[in-house]
Amino acid sequence: MKSLLFSLLIVLGMSLHSDAQIFMTRTGKINFDATTKTSPEKIAAKNNEVACVVDTKTGDLRFQVLIKSFKFESELMEEHFNENYMESDKFPKAEFKGTVSNLNEVNLGKDGSYNTRVSGKLTMHGVTNDISVTGTIVVKGNTILLKSKFQVKLADYKIEVPSLVADKINKVADISLDSDLTKK
């Protein structure tokens, strides 16, 4: 419900631009992997409930994800992730607000794959940091696919890894993003 409300508010806000071209989804995908070489099990999760909105006129881009929507292979690992690391009751969501800086190089009228640069603010675990990442926009008819792979240092977001498990959890998480958006 919060995800839907967020999406609606973003669409309404972006629609104030008379020439806005809005693409959105509530079923985007984000995966993360913080597995180390010495970890006895994979420290990874998937989230298929990511809200994303992009205004292709201005390049404004927004992502929002509920932390409790990340799913692990192990229920115990998921519980530890939510309670001990991400404190998801206190910090229920992560969000990104930014801009596709080279949107003028993407031809939305022509199917194809276009390299992009995105800059903005990532808020997670109550901490906001500036980030810049590269990615790809794939145009296919009236849909666009956003893809990106980047890394996040856990310490940058005050996510503490206890010394007892420090050799099992990577201090840098690999993040991959894959979201199909449709024109609204």
3-class SS letters over 32-95: EEEECCCCCCCCEEEEEEEEEEEECCCCEEEEEEEHHHCECCCHHHHHHHHHHHCCCCCCCEEE
Give the per-residue pLDDT at 15: 44
Mean pLDDT taken over the chain: 90
User: Whole domain around residue 141: which residue ranges?
Assistant: 2-15+23-183
- How many distinct structural domains can be found in the chain? 1
CATH code for position 76? 2.40.128.110
pLDDT in tens, 60-114: 999 999 999 999 999 999 999 999 999 999 999 999 999 999 999 999 999 999 9
pLDDT in tens, 49-61: 999 999 999 999 9
165 — pLDDT class (breaks 50, 70, 90): confident
19 — pLDDT class (breaks 50, 70, 90): low
**Looking at the predicted structure, is the pLDDT value of residue 16 above 70?**
no
166 — pLDDT class (breaks 50, 70, 90): confident
Query: Which of these, 54, 59, 132, 130, lies nearest to 100 by C-alpha position?
Result: 59
The pTM of the full predicted model, rounded to 2 decimals, is 0.87
20 — pLDDT class (breaks 50, 70, 90): low
